[in-house]
Amino acid sequence: MGRDIGLSLVYRDMWQSSGKYMPRVDQLVRVAEPIVDMGCFRRVETNGGGFEQINLLYGENPNKSVREWTQAFNDAGIQTHMLERGLNALRMFPVPRDVRKLMFKLKKIQGTDIARSFDGLNDTRNLQLSIDYAKEGGMISQCCLCITHSELHTAEYYINMAGELIDMGAEEICIKDMAGIGRPVTIGKIVEGIKSMKSDILVQYHGHSGPGFSVTSSLEAARAGADIIDVAMEPLSYGTVLADLITVHEVLKDAGFSVPDINMKAYMQARSLTQEFIDEFLGYYINPKNRLMNALLIGPGLPGGMMGSLMSDLENNLVSLNKWMAKNNKPDVTQDELLIALFEEVQHIWPIMGYPPLVTPYSQYVKNAALVNVMQMMKGKARWSLLDDNTWDMVLGKSGRLPGTVGDELKELAKEQGRDFFEGDPQDLQPDALDDFRKKMEEKGWDTGEDDEELFEYAMHPAQYEDYKSGKAKDSFEKDLENKKNEQVALPTQDSSTPSQAVVQPKKLDIDVNGEKFKVSISYNGTDPSTVPTSAETTPVAASTNGSSNSKEILAPLEGTVYMTKDSSESELKVGDQIKVGDIVCYIEAMKVSNAVKSEVEGTVSEVLVKDTDAVLDDDVLFRVN
């Protein structure tokens, strides 16, 4: 028998890399038993990343979810691991020290054994507290090397980084190949270099399958000394997710490694349940194209974890763009044309932005900047004409040190906008927050929970937690799901033996005929569709003059969800308010970042055409001003 090698099922990541949502806690509890019974996993990834935020969006309690979901694996002696983002912990922006410290203590109490920590910039300074707090909380500290491919990101670069993390106290190293673009031989060299430096350090390989390298990379990592290989399983493996369990299992077995047998009866049960969850509602949030592999991803290097949202973003922005094209008598743009333009723009701006590794949240920042640039340039506007504050914080060093140097054009733009570069420790910019949130909970009459777990949840995800407590989150989700079901009809698969995917056709379309908006209902059963006139639902942050009056319009600069204020310290804009050029009038959340919408006109607000959580398209009217 050859060397033993372990397998880890990334059940959480399977969902996050496929679409918007993950299973509810009742579903997770049901699938846990067959996953255990499969008998082939040393580890299962249960939580972390966007897991808890998604619980809140459902209206579920994340602490209950983690405790119940991990219990079966704890009982079976299968190690559980979570993903956390270092400085950003479980969200997309920096987290105070005291909140980070509480997280590790709680997650261990709730049943999570291993903290897989990564910094999206590979700035090891941001991982020191993760290492310290994980070990202090009783967890195993596993630190990641975020793999990408550039002239800076060589095997030597990653081996040196691993050495730094080991010296800082990391107990395990994860090769986090989040885009699957790590070249297989280079992956092997990195693992070999780490093992040569410290032979007893556990190395785990995590590689997404998008560009097609991951099976070969898994084998190269194993041959070089990796101890555990991450895998996914049908019906969500491959595409933007990870390579399939059965494939990797057979490749490793054929190469002479000792891997435990798979209980195929239990496998089919877990597979069937996962498909059931897709068919019940999760499939409405999964783009069928995310099931496909695409060698085009080698160029831009975008990760599997964000491709689930990318195709949705692309579709929504394509509607906005073609709406503008039609208004300006220009030909429509196809999705493929927009996708290739996006990939080319990512490759162009990535070095200018300092070569941040393309992993959450910085992959989103680079992709968002590229997509907005493409949209703006197709309309004749300048590159960088709309850059959100989160992306600026990354560029300016407020999230950590960039691997490369920021380009001159961004340095000049920062100077023009009065933005300063930051050289210090980004954690110092985040004052402790638990006492403030504890006080808020006391004022609201909210219990801080067992082991202060509700306090932690509020401090980590303030807006989502408030919506969860009020019932708004659950109500919004149920309405959104109802709309999805009303507007989409699932098509049957060609082969009934193959699990169905969420292939959909629209039931309703918005069309523009000579400037007049109509909502069109489409029937697929032979009945006549009805056409109902409706008012425009959206529009620009450029200002234009309404032809029928002297009012000016403030338009949406991009597609997304409107939020009238960022937090309780701001007041919602209303009719009669005076505004000046440059005033923030609302926010549009798009592609996981919040964009401040600034007025390009001054005057008195005469009409407010949107409300909180409205969906808008690029160029939709938000406000009218006299």
438 Cβ contact partners less than 8 Å away, ≥ 6 residues apart = 448, 455
Compute the distance between CA of residue 15 and CA of residue 54 in angstroms, rounded to an integer.
Answer: 11
527 or 117: which leads in pLDDT: 117
- Adjacent-strand bridge partners of 578: 604
Question: In the predicted model, what is the mean pLDDT of the chain?
Answer: 88
Interior CA angle at 336 toward 146 and 537, to 5°?
A: 95
Q: What is the pLDDT of residues 4-62, one digit of tens each?
A: 999 999 999 999 999 889 999 999 999 999 999 999 999 999 999 999 999 999 999 99
Q: What is the CA radius of gyration of the chain?
A: 25
Across 458-484, average pLDDT: 95
What pLDDT, on a 0 to 100 scale, did the predictor assign at position 315?
A: 76
Domain ranges within the chain, ordered by starting residue? 147-231, 290-429, 543-625
Please name the amino acid found at residue 616.
Answer: V
**Percentage, residues of the chain above pLDDT 70:** 88
Report whether pLDDT(494) > 70.
no
Contact 391, 365 (CB under 8 A): yes
Report whether pLDDT(509) > 70.
no
Report whether pLDDT(102) > 90.
yes
Task: Give the torsion sign (CA, 301, 307, 310, 315).
Answer: positive
Across 615-620, average pLDDT: 84
Report whether pLDDT(345) > 90.
yes
Contact 422, 398 (CB under 8 A): yes
Report whether pLDDT(307) > 90.
no
Q: What is the pLDDT of residues 311-335, one digit of tens each?
A: 667 777 788 888 888 888 999 999 8
Return the C-alpha torsion angle 261, 45, 477, 561, nearest 10: -130
104 Cβ contact partners less than 8 Å away, ≥ 6 residues apart = 115, 130, 133, 134, 136, 137, 139
375 or 304: which leads in pLDDT: 375
Q: What is the pLDDT of residues 196-249, one digit of tens each?
A: 999 999 999 999 999 999 999 999 999 999 999 999 999 999 998 999 999 999
- E strand spans, 43-129: 43-48, 79-84, 114-117
568 or 117: which leads in pLDDT: 117
Q: What is the pLDDT of residues 429-469, one digit of tens each?
A: 999 999 999 999 999 999 999 999 999 999 999 999 999 99
Residue with tokens 């070249």: 183
C-beta neighbour count of 584 within 10 angstroms: 14
What pLDDT, on a 0 to 100 scale, did the predictor assign at position 479?
A: 94
Q: In degrees rounded to 5, what are phi and psi of residue 40?
A: -115, 0
What pLDDT, on a 0 to 100 scale, did the predictor assign at position 519?
A: 45
Encoded tokens for 169:
């106290």
What pLDDT, on a 0 to 100 scale, did the predictor assign at position 316?
A: 75
Compute the distance between CA of residue 3 and CA of residue 26 in angstroms, rounded to an integer.
Answer: 38
Most confident of 155-159, 290-294, 355-359: 155-159
What pLDDT, on a 0 to 100 scale, did the predictor assign at position 321?
A: 85
Across 418-435, average pLDDT: 96
Distance of CA 57 to the CA centre of its chain: 14
Report whether pLDDT(496) > 60.
no
Q: What is the pLDDT of residues 87-100, one digit of tens each?
A: 999 998 899 999 99
Contact 306, 367 (CB under 8 A): yes
390 Cβ contact partners less than 8 Å away, ≥ 6 residues apart = 92, 93, 361, 365, 593, 594
411: nearest Cα among 362, 354, 348: 354
Q: In degrees rounded to 5, what are phi and psi of residue 566?
A: -85, -40
Compute the distance between CA of residue 14 and CA of residue 50 in angstroms, rounded to an integer.
Answer: 12
Count of alpha carbons within 13 Å of 177, Cβ hemisphere only?
37
Question: Per residue in 541-572, is it b (16+ CB within 10 Å) or e — as a string?
Answer: bbbeeeeeeebbbbbbbbbbebbbeeeeeeee
Compute the distance between CA of residue 571 and CA of residue 573 in angstroms, rounded to an integer.
Answer: 6
Report whether pLDDT(112) > 50.
yes
Domain boundaries 290-429, corresponding CATH code: 1.10.472
Across 337-342, average pLDDT: 89
Q: What confidence category does residue 304 fall into, taking pLDDT thresholds of 50, 70 and 90?
A: low
Compute the distance between CA of residue 531 and CA of residue 527 in angstroms, rounded to an integer.
Answer: 13
Across 281-285, average pLDDT: 94
Q: What confidence category does residue 537 fall into, taking pLDDT thresholds of 50, 70 and 90?
A: very low
Q: In degrees rounded to 5, what are phi and psi of residue 520?
A: -110, 125
What pLDDT, on a 0 to 100 scale, did the predictor assign at position 156?
A: 98
Q: How many helices (H) and strands (E) does the chain have?
A: 20, 22
Report whether pLDDT(538) > 80.
no
460: nearest Cα among 15, 110, 52: 52
Q: What is the pLDDT of residues 574-592, one digit of tens each?
A: 999 999 998 999 998 876 6
112: left (phi over 0), alpha (psi -120 to 50) or beta: beta
Is it true that 290-429 and 543-625 share their CATH fold? no
Report whether pLDDT(478) > 90.
yes
What pLDDT, on a 0 to 100 scale, did the predictor assign at position 175?
A: 98
pTM exceeds 0.85:
no
What pLDDT, on a 0 to 100 scale, did the predictor assign at position 272?
A: 98
SS (H, E, C) 519-583: EEECCCCCCCCCEEECCCCCECCCEEECCCCCCEEEECCCCEEEECCCCCCCCCCCCCCEECCCC
Q: Is 543-625 CATH 2.40.50.100?
A: yes
Q: What confidence category does residue 622 fall into, taking pLDDT thresholds of 50, 70 and 90?
A: very high
What pLDDT, on a 0 to 100 scale, did the predictor assign at position 1?
A: 66
623 Cβ contact partners less than 8 Å away, ≥ 6 residues apart = 553, 554, 573, 585, 599, 605, 607, 608, 609, 610
